[in-house]
Amino acid sequence: MLPWSAELAGRFEQTTYDSDLLRGNPLGDPHERPVLVYLPPGYDDSDQRYPAIYVTMGYTGHVGMWFNRTPFRQPYPELLDALFATGDVPPAIVVFVDSWTKYGGSQCLDSPGTGQYHSYLCEEIVAWVDATYRTVADRDHRAVTGKSSGGYTAMVTPLLRPDVFGALATHAGDAAFDLCYRPEFPARARTLRDKYDSSYEKFFESVATRTGRTTNEDLHLLEIYGYASAYSAEPDGTVLLPFDELGVINPDVWARWLSRDPVEMVREPQYADALRSLRAVWIDAGKQDEYYLDLGATAFQREARRVGVPDDRLHFELFEGTHGGIEYRYPLAVKWLAEQLAD
């Protein structure tokens, strides 16, 4: 009963998936991962096949948080179920994928700094879902969506693997790194200088003494390190920071970050082709987003139009809102994706 819980029309199955690709990952993070699968109303009473929508995580998020309850709101899984319970939306299977690491996330990329999270998603999880559930097992019936770092994943995954995903929805996804990440480097450099002798090593030593009491400042430092682990780790796993002890950019490392920026990627022909091939591209963000991801969203949209994504396959929207508390946006995108993926 609300507000404590909701009756669902469909149902969720949570499985622990044992990943070969994540085994022995450089951070020693678990290779056994929860996967949460939503089966829409009617799934158990038919032999219908369904499109599959994959949901990825924002930074510091993991699959164990999807059912977190907040006052006067319902968790996304319940909003999702309510959407499909209306019967007005073509049914779909929704898969919640985990990409947590010790640093709080992996951007769901393959990196020698964190592990093979991209391949884990595209190879292992997709195959397992298709083998386990009655999906329409082709890229034209597969979408990926997420918010923030999950929105990032939603943008780059179909660019990298258009053979696997044919649609995407990004909510306030990391994009235009010059706008969303780079402005924060001076503040991070200052914190490192004032508290940790400009050394991440000393920061990690310190944070280890604060188990369960991590501060926002800690999270900010972790986040940058996590991004560096995803974007600019050396083959041996060494993490290269994009700025020096004064916050001054390191152009070589920054170039590696930019090569993973969705906006920059679309300038390369193969990624432009991939983007143009998608059946549905949903882009939105709040106009008061604290990380200026509305500007990033607009920039990604500008690139999408430039490379020829047609209007009927592109939904772009800036809404009134900040970075937080926007989960009401997710079902809007899922509805549109489900309609676009229905044949």
Which residues make up the interface to a second copy (CB under 8 A)? 1, 3-5, 16, 30, 32, 34, 60-65, 68-74, 79, 98, 100, 104, 176, 178-180, 182-187, 189-190, 194, 211-215, 218-219, 246-249, 287, 292, 294-295, 298-299, 302, 325, 327-328
| 3-state per-residue secondary structure call for 157-207 | HHHHCCCCCCEEEEECCCCCHHHHCHHHHHHHHHHHHHHHCCCHHHHHHHH
Least distance between a second copy and beta carbon 145 (Å): 18
Least distance between a second copy and beta carbon 278 (Å): 22
Residue nearer to a second copy on the CB measure, 60 or 277: 60
Q: What angle separates helix 251-258 from helix 216-231, to the nearest 10 degrees?
A: 80
Least distance between a second copy and beta carbon 60 (Å): 4
Nearest residue to 56 via CA among 10, 95, 5: 95
82, with CB counted inside 10 A (0-12, 13-18, 19+), is middle
H-helix segments, 13-172: 76-85, 117-119, 126-132, 149-160
DSSP string, 237-260: SPBPPSB-TTS-B-HHHHHHHHTT
Residue nearer to a second copy on the CB measure, 268 or 328: 328
Residue nearer to a second copy on the CB measure, 127 or 248: 248
Residue nearer to a second copy on the CB measure, 164 or 293: 293
